[in-house]
Amino acid sequence: MKRFAIAMLLVLSIPLAEAQERVRLTGSGASFPFPLYSAWFKSFSSQNKNVSVDYQAKGSGAGIQDFINHTVDFAASDAAMTDEEIAKVPGGVQLVPLTAGEIALAYNVAGVKGLKLPRDVYSGIFLGKVTKWSDPKLKAANPGVNLPDQDITVVRRADSSGTTFVFTTHLAAISEEWKKGPGVGTTVKWPTSDKFVASPKNDGVAATLRQTPGSIGYVEYAFGKFSKMEMALLQNKSGQFVAPGGKGGEEALSSVKLPADLRAWLPDPEGAHAYPIATYTWLLLYKKNADPKKAAALRELVDYCLTDGQKMSAQMGYIPLPESVSAAVRKAVASAQ
C-alpha cells in the first residue's frame, strides 16, 4: 500500500511539474500585424508545449503604454518607440522588426474597380479638400470609370495607432499642406466634418468601410485582402500607379537600409514600381527581464518568426523580411536577457 501511494504521488506530480515549467508570454499592441502574429503565435505555441503566447491587438499606442508599465512581457508597434518612450523603460529596450506590410486605401463605391488615386488627390481627400467622388481630378485620373456624384466619407482610426503614424508620415512627405496642418503622429487633428468617421483598430476601420457606401479609409493590406475590399492604385514618387499586394512593397523596402537601432521609415520610397506606403512593424522586448525563462522563450519565439514564420508572410498579405534584416534581428535579439 505504501509503495502504491508513493507511485500515485509521483504520477500526480508530473502534470503539476509540467504546469509549473510552462511559460506564458503576454503581449499587446499593433493591430496592423495581428492576423500574421495570431497565426505565428498559435503555431509556435502548438509546437512548443511548454510555452503559450497570448497577444491582444489594442493599437500601437496602447501596446507601448502597457510595455512601459510592465504589464506585458512584450509589445508590438508600427510606430516603433521614440527615444523619450525608451528612456522610461529601466534596463533598456530592444526593437526588432519582424515583418513588413503596406497601408492600402480601401473604398466602397458601387461598381468602381481599379480606382487610381494621384498623390494630390488622396492627400486632398484626407485633408477634406476633395469631397465628391465626381471630383474633376478623380475623373481625369480614371477615364471611362463611372464615378458617382456622391459625397466621400473618410474613415480614420479612433485610437492611438501605428498605422496612423505611418500613413500620416507619408502624407507629410508628399503634401506640404498636410505637413503644416494635421502633421505626423499616432493620433492627429483630423478635419472637422460629419464626413469623417472614426473607428478603432484596423478591423474596425475595415468593418465601417464595408457598411458605409461612398467611403474610403486606410487599413493594413491584409485586412483589405481578407475582407475582399476594393483597394486603390496609388501614384508613387516615380509617377506610376501601383496596387498593394504585389512586388511593390518589396521594392519599397529595398530602398531603405536599417540603422543600428533597427528603426527605419519609408516616407516616400524610391523605385519605379515601389508601392508608396510601406513599413516595418516592430516587436518590443525588454533588454533586462525579471524572468530568464521568459527571456529565453521570447528569443525562441523571435527565431521561429524569422524562420518558419516568414514562410507564411506573403500568403497572408505581408512582406517577408529581406535576409539582411533577418540577420540583423538575430544578432540584436541576443541582447534580450
Homologous superfamily of domain range 103-253: Periplasmic binding protein-like II (3.40.190.10)
**Are both 2-101+279-333 and 103-253 of the same fold?**
yes
Say if residues 160 and 59 touch (Cβ distance below 8 Å).
yes
- Can you give the pLDDT of all 337 residues of the chain as single tens digits? 444 344 433 444 434 344 457 899 999 999 999 999 999 999 999 999 999 999 999 999 999 999 999 999 999 999 999 999 999 999 999 999 999 999 999 999 999 999 999 999 999 999 999 999 999 999 999 999 999 999 999 999 999 999 999 999 999 999 999 999 999 999 999 999 999 999 999 999 999 999 999 999 999 999 999 999 999 999 999 999 999 999 999 999 998 889 999 999 999 999 999 999 999 999 999 999 999 999 999 999 999 999 999 999 999 999 999 999 999 999 999 999 9
C-alpha cell at 101: 506590410
CATH classification number, 2-101+279-333, choose in 3.30.70.3340, 2.60.410.10, 3.40.50.1370, 3.40.190.10: 3.40.190.10
Q: Give rounded-to-5 percent helix, strand, coil for the chain.
A: 40, 20, 40
DSSP per-residue codes, 50-114: TEEEEEEE--HHHHHHHHHTT-SSEEEETT---HHHHTTSTT-EEEEEEEEEEEEEEEE-TT--S
End-to-end CA distance of the chain: 48
203: CB partners within 8 A, 6+ apart: 31, 34, 57, 223
- Residue ranges per domain, the chain? 2-101+279-333, 103-253
